Structures are given as structure tokens and as C-alpha cells.
Chains A and B, each alone.
Chain A
């Protein structure tokens, strides 16, 4: 296993509530990513990080924020969840030239 885990794996939340997804890695890799994957859109980058406290926006960052206070943890926050944010969220990290993914977090906003 690549040493990257996500939590929670499944969550149902109500519109307007804040949600935080956690990504944890044990490989001391510098680069980490948050993607969402939806039918017809494939994997879309939300935010990424290239080091502690160094983050940048991806192509679908609106409505999301991230934080990376430690190398091993990369948090994704939905400040006020909307139904359009119902999706599966994948965290990833790069080691060398290989991208490793977490198992995904299935989020449903009702």
C-alpha cells in the first residue's frame, strides 16, 4: 500500500453545513492533491499543495479551501456544502513520478 488514507470514507451532510475531509500520508511526500470525480467530467483538481503552508488552486476551487500545517496532513474544507458538491473526492500524492491515490471519500449533500 502507498501509505495514503482518507477520512471519512462516506459522509452524508445537509446543505449549508461545513465539511472537512482529511488526507493523511506516511511517505513524507511533498506534493499532495485533492480531486473530485464526477460522471462525464473525470478527475478535476480542486487544490494542491507543494509543501507545508504552500497551496494553490486547481480548476474547480470555488467553494473549497485547504490547509496543510504538517507534511502528512492535507485537509479539504467545504465551508458551506451545496448539492453540487455531492461527489467522490480523491486525495493523491506524488512520489517520484508516480501518483498514489487514497481510497476516496463519498460525500452526499442533501
Chain B
């Protein structure tokens, strides 16, 4: 089993749709969780951190389920500009700050 797994997609949705991605992780001691967004031929950029209680930033909602070891990202009212690859990243415990990346989920929002 991979340490961090994501459905690669692609997810093709119409504008205005709600779409959700999940990311599962294998190390139950994982400390921190993030969603990054990556546009074609660009660097990944932080979309949002994921907090234990769940958090929301505008149209984006992130949740953590420690019991089932997954995090989720919900995008409401999708825009064309949301088309990108969404990367899940997990921070492992320890002093070397080991970051484990998912392969990403591709989203295409269509007019």
C-alpha cells in the first residue's frame, strides 16, 4: 500500500458543480496535512492546511478523518479556474520533517 494515495482522476465536472477528492494515508502518527494545487508546468502552491476540526476557505472545505486515515477536499460552485491538479501531502513525525506526497488528482471544470 502506498503511503499516501489519491484517485488520479481526471474528474471532469461542469461549472457550478460540487466535487470532492479524498486522500488516504498509511501512517497513523502523521502530524500535519495539506492540500496543494498545481497548474500545468508550474510549481505546487499551498491551497489549504487541514485541521482536525475541519476548515473552510471560501468555496473550499478540508476535513480530516483520523480514525479512517483520510483527508478530503470539497470544492463548491466550481469555476473554470479551479482546473488543476490537487496534491495531498502528509507530514510524518520526527525531526527530519518527512513529507509524503500523493500523485495528485486532476480536475477539469468545463463550461
Chain A residues with CB below 8 A from B97, complex form: 31, 50, 94
Contact B96 A103 (CB under 8 A): no
Q: Is the CB of A48 within 8 A of B49?
A: no
Q: Is the CB of A99 within 8 A of B46?
A: yes
Instruction: Kindly state the interface size class of chain A when it binds its partner.
Output: 20 to 34
Q: Find out whether the CB atom of A97 lies under 8 angstroms from the CB atom of B91.
A: yes
Do residues B43 and A102 form an inter-chain contact, with CB atoms below 8 A?
A: yes
**Would you call B32 and A97 a contact (CB within 8 A)?**
yes
Give A76 Cβ to nearest chain B Cβ, in Å. Answer: 15
Main secondary structure of the interface of A (DSSP, over half): strand
Question: How many B residues face the partner with a CB closer than 8 A?
Answer: 21
A39 closest partner in B (C-beta): B103
Chain B interface (Cβ < 8 Å from any Cβ of A): 32, 34, 36, 41-46, 49, 87, 89, 91, 95-97, 99, 101-104
Bound-state CA distance A94–B103 (Å) is 20
Name A62-94 residues within 8 Å CB distance of B. Answer: 88, 90, 94
Once the chains are docked, how many angstroms separate the CA of A41 from the CA of B102?
Answer: 9
User: Within the assembled complex, what's the spacing in Å between the Cα atoms of A40 and B104?
Assistant: 10
Complex CA distance for A23 and B44, rounded to whole angstroms: 16
